[in-house]
Structure formats: structure tokens, C-alpha cells
Amino acid sequence: MMMALKKLWEGFQSKRAPVVSVLRLEGMIGGGGRFQRGLSLDAISRDIDAAFASNRVRAVALVINSPGGAPVQAELIRRRLVDLSTEKDIPLVAFCEDVAASGGYWLACAAPKIYAQEASIIGSIGVISAGFGAPGLLAKIGLERRVYSAGDQKSMLDPFQTEKPEDVTRLKALQAEIHEGFKKLVRDSRADRLTAPEDELFNGAFWTGSQARDLGLIDDIGELRQVMRQTYGDNVKFRSRRRRRGLMGRFGMASDAAAGTLIGDCIEAGLEALEARALWARFGR
């Protein structure tokens, strides 16, 4: 009797429409400031778990639109996705939208198959650190800055001090180590599909989706619904997993903004928005 019921249930399940979980990975990667909610493992861990939760899920589609950010958070998210994919035996497929660059492409490498649009921006496989230097500004406006530290490297690259060559050398060494890890990830995930020399692929340049396909950085040009229907049939169902932001979040500000000093909060929010804008602007977005 139990065996018959089991077969009946399995037959019923097999006739039900397959499900593809759609997990959107959007925005700058990182913990975020007070006003920007970064794309981090902590912020999306519940959505990741939910994407793999149903026994009807046949695949998890990653929809990526990110100019990059913190490499550690990119790797934490990628690792969680790969681990769950292996544990649940549910394949990952990546779909790059406007931009999947730097850390955004790092996320795409979680999936064995990567698709993009012809005009998508793909690549930027490198490491960057940017800031401002204003060593004479405080003196001009009559301010004296006082810094006390234990450890002669604690004030390394202080923007209000004259840049030191040894600090730049140390920073470049750190960047080179992270860059090597990024290159290894791309080599391992794309294997023999890469068609260009490494000095071209890994120099920080970025390309359109069409160019990235020719270079082997993506597998093909394709849109999520089209590709998934070709794979799982026209009756496939899509279940979306997407972070929700409150009203203040839509304007790039957290709900605690009113708790601080209005002018200071506005300045901080503005600087964070400029940082995000500058990162997106590198890719014409």
C-alpha cells in the first residue's frame, strides 16, 4: 500500500510544472555605509536559502547587475551559492544584465553557465583602490589635525598626509595578491573556454556581452525566460527572490537617518551616493 502511494505521489510530482528560482544580485558589493545597503552575504543569506528550499526547484537563476565592490563579500556569496548547489544537487545559471564587472563577474563565476545581453558590460577582472589626497587643505582653512597611533603603519595612506612611496608599494602588493585569487577563480570556473591570453583577459578591461562571448568569459547571449524555457519546457514556473527596500532605502538612505544630525547625515548620504555613482559611471551606467 505504501509503495503504491509513493509511486502515485512521484507520478503526480513529475507532472507538476518545474520551478526555477530567480535570485537577483543587484548593486554595489559590500557591507554598505549607514545609508547604502550593500550586497553582502548577511543581507541576502535568507533569500539564498529560500531559493534552494523547494523540492520542485530545478535550477537557480542568478540575475546579476553589479559594478563590483568588496572581494570578500563577493566570495562569501559565491561560496554559499556553490555549496548549496552541490548540497541540493540544483544547478546554477548566471544571467548578466546591464553590468557584471569586477565583483559582479566574480559572482557570475558561481555558475557553470553564464549568459548576458549583447550590450551588457562584462569583465573588469582586476583590483582597484581609489581615494583623494588633501595634505595641505587643513592648514589652508586653519585646522590642525592630531593623530596618535601605536604601530607605524596605522596611518598608512592617510589622505591628509603626504603620500609615502613605501605605503603605495605595500598597497600594490596587497592588490596583486587579491588579483591573483581573482584570476585563479576565473581560470577554475571557465576552464578551457577562455580563448584570449591572460594579459588581455586579466588587465582590468571590460567588454560588451558579444565580445565577452568571443573571449570565453560568458557562454552565450541569452535572456533568462528564453533560456530556461528551452531547457525545462514552456510550462516552467519562475519564483523570484529579491531584497525589498523601504521608502528611505529607495532614496539611498536608511530609516535611521532622522536620528542623527540632519546636515551631517545629508553630507554622509551624499558622499556614499557619489561613491556608488562613480563606481557605476566607470561602465557608462
User: Between 209 and 2, whose confidence is greater?
Assistant: 209
Q: Out of 7, 154, 172, 184, which one is annotated catalytic? A: 154
Place 166 in a pLDDT band, splitting at 50, 70 and 90: confident
- Work out the widest C-alpha separation in the chain, in whole angstroms: 89
Instruction: With CA atoms as reference, report the closest residue to 203 among 171, 179, 181.
Output: 179
Specify burial of residue 170 (Cβ count, 10 A radius: 0-12, 13-18, 19+).
middle
Domain annotation for the chain: domains and CATH numbers: 17-127+182-281 (3.90.226.10)
Q: Out of 40, 66, 85, 102, which one is annotated catalytic? A: 102
Determine what percent of the chain is predicted with pLDDT higher than 90: 53
Place 10 in a pLDDT band, splitting at 50, 70 and 90: very low
pLDDT in tens, 253-270: 444 444 445 554 555 555
| Residues forming beta bridges with residue 101, ordered by sequence position | 123
Specify burial of residue 236 (Cβ count, 10 A radius: 0-12, 13-18, 19+).
middle
Three cell numbers written together for 89: 544537487
pLDDT in tens, 123-134: 999 877 666 667
Instruction: Report yes or no: 82 and 108 within 8 Å, Cβ to Cβ.
Output: no
pLDDT in tens, 59-90: 999 999 999 999 999 999 999 999 999 999 99
pLDDT of residue 63: 98
pLDDT of residue 142: 72
N-term to C-term CA, the chain: 61
To the query of whether residue 120 is one of the catalytic residues in this protein, the response is no
The overall pTM is greater than 0.85: no
3-state SS, residue 255: helix
Main-chain phi, psi angles of 116, to 5 degrees: -155, 175
To the query of whether residue 129 is one of the catalytic residues in this protein, the response is no
